[in-house]
Structure 1
Amino acid sequence: MERTSTRVVNGLIRRVIADRDLYLQAARGVREPGLKAILDESADALTAIAKELQGQVSAAGMRPATAGGPMSGVRRTIMEASVKLSHDPDVTYIRTLEQMERRLLDAFLRLESTSGDRAMVGRHIARLRLLHLDMTNLGSAAGR
């Protein structure tokens, strides 16, 4: 893995970790126990993606990112403010996570078009599509 690729992958690692943290925050804030379980499982899936990417960077002899990016706190604050203003906090969490997953999936799709390891990126894309599908289905069920 070349230095430029490492920088891109580390950016994705930071994004995945930040998104995972938002899933965990949402899991703590939702009222519905079934939704909490889904959000915890989604956070676990993002943790697995981050660890695999970190392993790839380490295997290349580089230092992997280990925390979310500088905007993580801002995104967390915005999500919590939206939830406080919402008449249905669970739906607000779902909608926020759905949008977030779409952006993360798009970032991985862009990486796939330039990556030398399409199989690894493809595995992550498959996981992210499932996460996004979960959020989309939950959003639809919540009566959009």
Structure 2
Amino acid sequence: MSTYIVPSTCNALIRRSIDLRRLYRRAAMGCEPGLRMVLHENMQTLDLLIADLQAQLRAHDGKPSEHGTWRGAVRRHLASWLVHAASSRDSAWIRALAHQESALLHAFEQAIADAPAESALALRRQLPRLRGIHLDMHSLAGTAHH
């Protein structure tokens, strides 16, 4: 049996996750091949996270979000513009992705802290995926500064 998640909270996290996945997709179009591979792996992880949250909502007759937010679109365009002006585009993408990834992880942690116990448990199951992306991006961000 699947665990119940508060639909409004879950949909907000789905939308933010979709925003981040779209930012990864945009970044992967302009990065060198090795970095592109890491970004695609992180996109796949986000695909799994999004699909899992959507399935949990559907299991409880909820209607899961399928689109990101307008803020995500603005962030994506702003990041593209800033990266275009940067001397090292890969480093600029890494910083932008690491920043947005940290914000998503924080949103999940805050939702877990605020959610009823059953919902918090369901959301907590996603943390290993998010922390894996977090480690990837912050490891890359650390090497991008050197």
Aligned residue type for 1:26: A
Distance 1:89 1:101 in 2: 18
TM-score, structure 1 normalization:
0.92
Superposed CA RMSD in Å reads 1.4
Aligned residue pairs total 141
1:1-144 counterparts in 2 under 5 A?
1=4, 5-30=6-31, 32-113=32-113, 114-115=115-116, 116-143=118-145
Distance 2:20 2:44 in 1: 11
**Superimposed CA distance per residue, residues 65-105 of structure 1 (whole angstroms, 9 cap, x where no aligned partner):** 00111212201110101101100000000000001011100
TM-score, structure 2 normalization:
0.91
Q: Which 5+ residue runs of structure 2 have no aligned equivalent?
A: none
Name the % identity. Answer: 34
Higher relative contact order (CA 8 A, sep 6+): 2
Q: Which 5+ residue runs of structure 1 have no aligned equivalent?
A: none
Runs of 4+ in 1 over 4 A off after TM superposition: none
Distance 1:122 1:48 in 2: 15
Aligned residue type for 1:20: R
